[in-house]
Amino acid sequence: MNEAPLLICYDGSDRARRAIDTAVELLGKRRAVVLDVAPPMTVAEAYDSLAPGPYAFEELNQAEAKRSAEDGAEYARRAGLKAEARGDLAAPTWEGIVDVADQIDAAAIVMGTRALTGARELFEGSLSHQVAEHAGRPVLIVPPGRPTA
């Protein structure tokens, strides 16, 4: 068995949980790092920071990313992975994901996708596309499930 861990991107969504389930199904029960990458400061926080006062947005965002990653790691452990959680800050998000993949020498990056197409992808951007373009390693992009009739 390959000793390099999987890097699983997690944001608390059903798409992220589906990516974990798919990783176990396709890649087996192995070691994984479950990662949530938050922005150092959101747009709303940037506006709030214009007013006087002490701010700890980065610390709050870091703590939220870690909490989300802990939830994801717990889900991954229930699915059969030997998972640890990691919450990081980065902008753009894809850089944070690629940096962590490099740090842990991930065997592959696993992530869900919103499956945007056309103009929506152009304007909203595709995190999975950016990661796949820059990762230099395999990226398993798990699409949303098909709707049931």
Please, what are the domains in the chain? 6-142 (3.40.50.620)
pLDDT at 126: 84
Per residue in 44-72, pLDDT tens? 544 454 444 556 677 888 899 999 999 99
What burial letters (b/e) apply to 94-127, b meaning 16+ CB within 10 Å? bebbbebbeebebbbbbbbbeebeeeeeeeeebb
Neighbour tally for 76: CB within 10 Å: 29
89 vs 47, which has greater pLDDT? Answer: 89
pLDDT for residue 80 is more than 90: yes
